[in-house]
């Protein structure tokens, strides 16, 4: 089969309208199963201008690089449009691939001078709960000539929905998303050419308080953290057929009012009165004489930035599965899946009739369980106008499987009356995994659903209660799993810039446990594992994407955290008097004290400190900072010796020797000698067996326990832990009907009651960090070098699972396994322009291959492993005694 170029992308953009880079790096991926195909050169054609009227520039480069190659043409300016295509040559240099399809990019607005619009604010209209009632903005304008093209550049203080001539602009929701608004504010670019006409036009927008003005945080939270005015910044640029440009921007000539949304809060939900709908308010024929004037505000001090990652969108519709009448006589609609988003309701009824919808994740005693929501109502209401309506909220979102419907016009809703709309950041799906065990497949499915529900503009901890915040520890441990499942680089690299700017300018080098940080200063203290996301998350993104610029961009933040932010005692270890979260939600911790687990929190902190110092030496090497690399390598060894003196006995016993402590020490290479490692292996094996293969780790230990067992050759113990169904275990929630990952191993107790602890979410991705082990060990595929240019195939059979498959859409193309037959038989697929190492169970040699499809067989049987229980990732086995 010939090699073909599958797609061209720029930087890490899924879409490339309104990007912020002026020298965008170019990537292309391949399809095809050609044997031993490595790119030796490539040719680019670059056509400037939207219609390609200028002769394309041509560039030939002798290189095997096909990911993030340097921009060869002139530096782009704001609004520039370019088309690019590529073809590649193999090592023989003779026959190139066909030219790829053209892909276009357009640069957005880059500087303050590109904006002629002003920020406009509506009067403050308070609801009874002291939230700000959403505001409407509008302006009419006239276009005198035929239109060639038109763009809308728009952002808000709050979250907005834009309209043009009565039609919705774009498909983004919760725009502009949540960033560190004090320093960085996203704007969006929309192509509105087809929404405009010669003659009279109208632009309009509705703005809700969102994260900007709304209540955020636990313990009743805080309001108006960034500002207390709902505001809009919008600029239309119309290019006529004769190339004249007309600009219409927000200014004091706009009008504002309020509409049918009475209130809309992220935590408490949205109240909508259909009788207050204003027909035609976003159309040019509307009379707005009685609307109020707006107030012009100062231009944002924050940097206006083009988004680096995709927007939040509606991604799926989930149908209602059943209507339940509860013991108290309430009607509850079950959607069969814990998800994040909102309802779409189809209903009619008398004017003034109000229906309410309360969203919960689980039922308890047959009723909608609202206690886990804490101080969060998660309740929408719809007041009818007497006409049929299809309605959804706009400026809130909920985490739910069940919706209690009160006061439905006919008492009991029908299944067709309600749908659930799933929303999340619209990342490209990259990884898949399946195996022969249905419960493991369900676990993996739950991990994916948990990620979808918590990647809503930022990586959040949970989507349902009075929190939904960017906890740094959660994403730090989950990032390797996330990077396999979806293309996260654009979204997370932007989030890391928020982390850095707040750390450096607001927090004296400390990395907050929440980004964007909404906590008062008294809450902000350095925390190992959480604040360490400043170093570990960029490294994980680099490992997945191969993009060295992420390390370069975050390097200042990394150094400041390590050298200034960490609260140290005199010898350089963590200050023992400081508070540490430690192995948060260890299953041994009391429900009311989630941080009071078995493992000394300062052992956790110091293990992480050694590890991140070692990572800094690796990062310094990648960045060619040789003196820094030497310094951090030496410092890591010094800190390791201090760790050993503090926590490891002369005979190699770890004190304390919990599962988490041993997993940390094994994974982070903290033992002084092979003898000590052997002692730790024996002790960890004993703990696993005496626990009857139930998990005994919290947030910190969970991502490491199975990898640490695998590292020391105890793969079968790892599988027995994975496949355990008794609480606490990964599969226990599945026996209880879970469709997402839980915050606690026992968020629901075996008797069906909810854990009495205050922190009891049923959609929390942290414990889903086991996904990285499923992908790399059960699935057996991982990057051998950053960016997947070289792939490692190393499945480790175990347990009673008999077949498995995994695939990953790498920057170079699809990598993965196909099922085979008869004993250990696996088929590996290596994309063009990559190489791989294959380590087949039962065979000593490492096989090195280039692109193509390959089959491998083995008579693999592990000692003590019954032949009839043989497992093969990406393979099928016959019984060995056949």
For residue 712, give both structure tokens: 């020391």
What is the rounded CA–CA span in Å between residue 326 and residue 331? 6
What is the rounded CA–CA span in Å between residue 843 and residue 828? 16
What is the rounded CA–CA span in Å between residue 776 and residue 792? 9
> Which residues, 6+ apart, have CB-to-CB distance to 604 below 8 Å?
528, 529, 580, 582, 583, 660, 661, 664, 700
Helix (H, G, I), strand (E, B) or coil at 496: helix
The closest alpha carbon to 281, from 394, 144, 475, 137, belongs to 137
- H and E: helices and strands count for the chain: 14, 45
What is the rounded CA–CA span in Å between residue 637 and residue 646? 14
CB 162 within 8 A of CB 204: yes
What is the rounded CA–CA span in Å between residue 355 and residue 799? 51
Q: Which of 467, 758, 853, 859 is catalytic?
A: 467
What is the rounded CA–CA span in Å between residue 823 and residue 409? 62
Helix (H, G, I), strand (E, B) or coil at 127: coil
Cis omega (within 30 of 0) for bond into 821: no
Q: Which of 743, 818, 819, 863 is catalytic?
A: 743
CB 814 within 8 A of CB 796: no
Establish how many alpha carbons lie within 13 A of residue 650's alpha carbon, considering only the half-sphere containing its beta carbon: 0
Establish how many alpha carbons lie within 13 A of residue 311's alpha carbon, considering only the half-sphere containing its beta carbon: 24
Q: Please give the full DSSP string across 436-491, using - where no structure is assigned.
A: S-HHHHHHHHHHHHHHHHHEESEE-S-SSSS----BHHHHHHHHHHHHHHB--HHH
Q: Give the Cβ contact number of residue 689 at 10 Å.
A: 11
**Distances in Å between the alpha carbon of 210 and those of 134, 249, 352, 392, 490?**
10, 23, 27, 16, 22
Q: Give the Cβ contact number of residue 866 at 10 Å.
A: 10
Q: Please give the full DSSP string across 349-365, using - where no structure is assigned.
A: --TT-EEEEEEES-EET
Adjacent-strand bridge partners of 815: 808
For residue 258, give both structure tokens: 């309020």
Catalytic (active site) residue 743: yes
Adjacent-strand bridge partners of 356: 381, 406
Q: What residue has token string 């953290």?
A: 225
Establish how many alpha carbons lie within 13 A of residue 127's alpha carbon, considering only the half-sphere containing its beta carbon: 21
CB 689 within 8 A of CB 726: no
Catalytic (active site) residue 467: yes
Query: How long is the chain?
Result: 882
**Catalytic residue IDs:** 467, 743
């Amino acid at each position: 089969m010939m090699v073909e170029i599958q797609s061209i992308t720029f930087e890490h953009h899924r879409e490339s309208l309104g990007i912020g880079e002026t020298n965008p790096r170019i990537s292309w991926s391949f399809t095809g199963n050609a044997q031993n195909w490595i790119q030796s050169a490539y040719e680019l054609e670059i056509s400037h201008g939207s219609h390609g009227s200028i002769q394309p520039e041509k560039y030939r480069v002798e290189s095997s690089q096909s990911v993030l190659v340097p921009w060869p043409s002139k530096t782009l300016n704001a609004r520039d449009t370019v088309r690019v295509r590529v073809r590649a040559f193999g090592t023989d240099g003779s026959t190139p691939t066909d030219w790829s399809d053209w892909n276009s990019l357009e640069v957005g607005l880059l500087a303050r001078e590109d904006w002629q619009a002003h920020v406009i604010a509506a009067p403050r209209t308070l609801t009874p709960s002291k939230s700000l009632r959403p505001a409407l903005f509008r302006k009419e304008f006239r276009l005198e000539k035929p239109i060639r093209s038109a763009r809308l550049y728009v952002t808000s203080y709050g979250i907005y929905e834009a309209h043009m001539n009565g039609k919705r602009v774009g498909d983004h929701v919760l725009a502009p998303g949540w960033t560190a608004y004090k320093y960085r504010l996203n704007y969006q670019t929309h192509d509105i050419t087809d929404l405009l006409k010669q003659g009279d036009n109208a632009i309009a927008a509705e703005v809700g308080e969102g994260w900007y003005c709304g209540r955020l945080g636990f313990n009743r939270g805080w309001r108006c953290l960034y500002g207390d005015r709902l505001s809009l910044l919008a600029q239309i640029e119309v290019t006529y057929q004769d190339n004249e440009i007309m600009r219409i921007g927000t200014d004091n000539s706009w009008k504002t009012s309020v509409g049918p949304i009475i209130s809309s809060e992220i935590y408490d939900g949205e109240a909508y009165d259909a009788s207050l709908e204003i027909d035609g308010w976003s159309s040019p024929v509307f009379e707005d004489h009685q609307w109020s004037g707006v107030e012009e505000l100062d231009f944002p001090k924050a940097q206006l930035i083009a988004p680096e990652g995709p927007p939040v969108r509606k991604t799926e519709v989930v149908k209602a599965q059943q209507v339940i009448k509860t013991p108290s006589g309430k009607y509850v609609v079950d959607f069969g899946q814990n998800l994040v988003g909102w309802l779409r309701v189809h209903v009619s009824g008398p004017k003034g009739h109000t229906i309410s919808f309360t969203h919960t994740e689980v039922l308890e005693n047959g009723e909608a369980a609202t206690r886990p929501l804490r101080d969060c109502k998660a309740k929408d209401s719809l007041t009818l106008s007497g006409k049929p309506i299809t309605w959804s909220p706009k400026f809130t979102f909920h985490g739910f499987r069940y919706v209690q419907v009160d006061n439905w016009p006919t008492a009991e809703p029908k299944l067709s009356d309600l749908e659930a709309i799933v929303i999340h950041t619209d990342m490209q799906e990259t990884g898949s995994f399946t195996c022969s065990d249905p419960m493991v497949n369900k676990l993996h499915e739950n991990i994916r659903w948990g990620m979808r529900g918590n990647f809503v503009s930022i990586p959040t901890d949970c989507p349902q209660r009075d929190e939904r915040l960017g906890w740094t520890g959660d994403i730090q441990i989950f990032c390797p799993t996330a990077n396999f499942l979806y293309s996260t680089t654009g979204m997370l690299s932007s989030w890391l810039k928020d982390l850095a700017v707040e750390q450096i300018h607001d927090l004296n080098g400390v990395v907050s446990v929440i980004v964007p940080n909404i906590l008062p200063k008294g809450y902000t203290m350095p925390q190992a594992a959480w604040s360490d996301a400043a170093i570990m998350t960029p490294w994980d993104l680099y490992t997945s994407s191969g993009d060295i610029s992420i390390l370069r961009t975050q390097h200042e933040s990394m150094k400041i955290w390590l050298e200034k932010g960490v609260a140290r005692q005199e010898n350089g270890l963590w200050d023992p008097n400081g508070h540490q979260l430690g192995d948060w939600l260890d299953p041994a911790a009391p429900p009311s004290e989630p941080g009071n687990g078995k493992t000394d929190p300062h052992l956790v902190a110091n293990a992480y400190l050694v590890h991140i110092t070692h990572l800094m030496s690796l990062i310094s090497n990648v960045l060619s900072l040789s003196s820094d690399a030497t310094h951090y390598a030496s410092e890591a060894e010094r800190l390791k010796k201090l760790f050993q003196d503090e926590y490891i006995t002369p005979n190699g016993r770890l004190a304390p020797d919990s599962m988490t402590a041993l997993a940390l020490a094994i994974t982070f290479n903290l033992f002084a000698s092979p003898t000590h490692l052997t002692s730790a292996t024996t002790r960890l094996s004993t703990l696993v067996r005496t626990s009857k293969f139930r998990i005994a780790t919290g947030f910190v230990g969970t991502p490491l326990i199975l990898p640490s067992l695998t590292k020391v050759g105890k793969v079968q113990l790892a599988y027995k832990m994975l496949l355990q169904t008794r609480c606490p275990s990964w599969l226990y929630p599945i026996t209880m009907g879970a469709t997402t990952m839980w915050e606690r191993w026992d968020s629901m107790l075996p008797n069906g009651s909810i854990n009495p602890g205050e922190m009891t979410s049923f959609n929390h991705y942290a414990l889903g960090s086991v996904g990285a082990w499923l992908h790399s060990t059960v699935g057996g595929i991982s990057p051998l070098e950053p960016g997947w240019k070289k792939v490692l195939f190393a499945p480790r059979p175990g347990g009673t699972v008999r077949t498995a498959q995994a695939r990953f859409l790498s920057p170079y193309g699809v990598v993965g396994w196909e099922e085979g037959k008869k004993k250990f038989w696996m088929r590996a697929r290596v994309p063009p322009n990559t190489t791989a190492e294959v380590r087949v169970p039962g065979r000593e040699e490492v096989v090195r291959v280039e692109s193509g499809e390959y089959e491998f067989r083995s008579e693999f049987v592990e000692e003590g492993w019954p032949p009839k229980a043989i497992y093969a990732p990406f393979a099928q086995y016959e019984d060995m005694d056949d």
